[in-house]
Amino acid sequence: MNKTLSQILQLLLGIVIGVLITLIAVRYRESRHMNRISKVDWAKLNLILGIVQKNYVDTLDYEGMTEAAVDAALSKLDPHSVYLPPVQLTASEEELAGKFDGIGIQFNVPNDTAIVLEVIPGGPSEKVGLMTGDRLLKVDDTVIAGVKFPQDSMVRRLKGPSGTKVTVTVKRGKEEIPFEITRGKIPVHSVDAAFIVQDTVGYMRVAKFSRTTFKECREAVQKLKEEGMKHLVMDLRDNTGGYMDQALLLTNDYLSRGDTIVYMEGLHRAKEVYRADGKGLFQDMGLTVLISENSASASEIFAGAIQDNDRGTLVGRRSFGKGLVQEPFLFTDDSGIRLTVARYYTPSGRCIQKPYTSGGKDYAYDIYNRYADGEVFSADSVRLDTTDVHKTRSGRIVYGGGGIMPDVFVPVDTTRATAFYVACNKKATQMRYASYVFDKHRGTLMGIDSYEAMDGFLGKLNLKVDFPAFASRQDAIPCTEAEWDQTAPYLLPQLKALIARYSKLGENAFYKYYLPVDNTVEQALSRLQ
């Protein structure tokens, strides 16, 4: 009996020991597994940064390391999910907000010295007496003229919080005049130009989709209607987009009730469909939309809705191809990220996002490749994804997967690019000649407020003789008589446009004089005759 009991106790003890050993082994394995990083969480990044913090040989730049880590992580997503440090975020928001803090001037730098092109009415600079044509010499004590001062640095020095002061020294004629300017809120316009281009056809150039775009466009089109416009040419070339809500509002003005404008969908975003409400003011107006390889995002939403609903004609070249929707996430240090949260689709179901690879260079060089491959010169060279087929309301075939192909393709015009014209472009001779003319005729130019007066002024300049002489004298660019005859039909309108913008007519004058040699506008207008 005692022997049997002893055997039973030994057996039970063995079982208990076995169980304990098993539990210890399991716990050991679990412990080892817990020290390994799961692939579905972010602990590995924190672990590595912690190890670096405790063990690295030198003092660490924590802010720089954090921003580098964020940049590297987001680069594995898509080209439009980006981290914006505080300075970049502020600049980006200002560009789209429709206003910024500054002194209220527009300028260009044709010859290493900034020249004021426009003094914004009602702005701080106008109040103290800055004028079109003034040369900017100094900002406070910093010399910015004649020293190859970076243009973006000039802008940063002129901008600043409302209420702060800055002293800007300008050269006007032979005088140097310091102006103390109190910075204020400056409006940023989306509509660069709006005027009647011929008979009952209006032209409107929209530069961006900022907070004020819809309001500006509606006011501009209403004014053109009052002047007799029945057909609008809306120029969205080189418009890289901006606020999506402004694109929706603008599109709504031209579509009928129930027409789809766009819809969006993402893994964490339910499908949202946006339709016209039937309250648009211009539903019956004739419409042509100009696009180019630099028309992107919000521009493509507008263009895609117009094309898919057969509401108007698209003229130009294949658009950029951005079909991703970004949402901002802001942090307490005034930095933030713009994260892609959805794709948008045109009414026919197209996602026009062009292909990209994570962290690849193919996306960044796409526009360059379009030139290299000849796409911008010939419709036959355009690469379309013919497997991604969709149909407009009337049954016309359109393709997704790489921008919006216009209804009428217009190639880049290379026939006028003579050696003389190319040489002048390289040295910005045209811009510097325009400022030279302004210096000679400042009083006359600044008083011109009608196109009749401007035509008369330009007709007296003898540009055919004076400009080639200026190019030879200033930039050592020779021009034969035969070469001038070939170049003049294209170059003269450009010269007139650059000179006319110094008058009270401003940017409207620039586009009005330049458009006759714009082959995309020419094609658009020829289809209306």
Q: Give the catalytic positions in this structure.
A: 297, 308, 322
Alpha-helix runs per DSSP H in 117-271: 124-128, 151-158, 213-226, 244-252
Using alpha carbons, select from 479, 487, 474 the residue that is nearest to residue 431.
474
Cα gap 83→86, rounded to integer Å: 10
Instruction: Let me know if 211 is exposed, middle or buried by CB neighbors in 10 A (0-12, 13-18, 19+).
Output: middle
Using alpha carbons, select from 198, 193, 199 the residue that is nearest to residue 235.
193
CA atoms within 13 A on the CB side of 12: 6
* DSSP states of 392-431: -TT--EEE-SS----SEE-----TT--HHHHHHHHTTHHH
Using alpha carbons, select from 510, 529, 500, 519 the residue that is nearest to residue 205.
510
Give backbone dihedrals phi and psi of 180, rounded to 5 degrees, phi first.
-90, 120
Q: Residue 264 in 3-state DSSP?
A: strand
Show the CA angle centred on residue 442, arms to residues 439 and 447, nearest 5°: 160
